[in-house]
Structure 1
Amino acid sequence: MTQSFRLSFDASVARRALRQAAARGLFLGAEHVLGVSNDRVPLDEAALQRSGMASVDEADLTAMVSYDTPYAVRQHEEMDYRHAPGRTAKYLENAANSERAVVFALIAAQMRRALR
């Protein structure tokens, strides 16, 4: 007995689901980096820490973590400033570098979930 099958596959549905999953993963990764960075950000009155924000540009699949105070860049770049224990300059850069593997894992998990 011979059977025949016809399979129709619309790749645009899979592409769209994977793109949305990648954006979700990027946002989760950016939020994770923000959390780690907030644990390292110089702390005086916590204005700098509260100004931290994570966002994703879904069109470009780009994640951003930023701090929005007039002195955020100076605090980040000035290596000679004294900070409380555990707080440091390069708080965002170091967090992004140290958490790279976690961010990749978060993105991969979201994409795997979309393929189920």
Structure 2
Amino acid sequence: MPQGFRLSFNGGPAARALRESAARGLFLAAEYVLGEADQVVPLDEAALQRSGTASVDAPSLTAMVSYDTPYAVRQHEQLDLRHAPGRTAKYLETPLNAARQEVAALIAAEIRRALR
């Protein structure tokens, strides 16, 4: 005789856990990119480096890495400025592009933890 069963799935808590883990992963990834950018950000008195922040907007699952000084954009975009050895323009863009695999791995690891 066939045996029956009933399965109910409450997807709300699972979806919330996945979003929370994705937001955590995004924050870790943003912190990683910030650390990499801090290695090449132009230095004079280190005000630019100290202004770096990483944050996440959890509802939109958007991560942000920014530097907040009046000259941050100019230092990033103007390629003809002279910098100390090892420091460069595109101090945020270059590390972000170089860290794509690490960023994806950090986010994926947090999501995998939530699925356990």
TM-score tier by shorter-chain length is: over 0.9
The reply on whether 1:75 has 2:75 as its aligned counterpart is: yes
1:46 paired with 2:66, answer: no
Corresponding letter in the other structure for 1:55: S
Q: Secondary structure at the match of 1:24?
A: helix
Q: Give CA-to-partner distance per residue, 1:2-47, whole Å, 9 cap, x none.
A: 6443221111111100000000000000000000000000011100
Q: Is 1:84 the counterpart of 2:87 in the alignment?
A: no
1:61-72 aligned within 5 A: 61-72=61-72
**Which structure 1 segments of 5+ residues have no match?**
none
TM-score, normalization by structure 2? 0.96
Residue aligning to 2:59: 59
* In structure 1, distance between residues paired with 2:101 and 2:12: 29
Structure 2 gaps of 5+ residues are: none
Q: Spell out, residue by residue over 1:44-81, the C-alpha distance to the aligned partner (whole angstroms, 9 max, x if none).
A: 11000000000000010000000000000000011011
- Separation (CA, whole Å) in 2 of partners of 1:40 and 1:12: 43
Superposition CA RMSD, Å: 1.1
**Percent of aligned pairs sharing the same letter:** 72
Give the match's secondary structure for 1:88.
coil
TM-score by length of 1: 0.96
What is the distance in 2 between the residues matched to 1:3 and 1:51? 64
Look up the SS of the partner of 1:96 in the other structure: helix
Look up the match of 1:110: 110
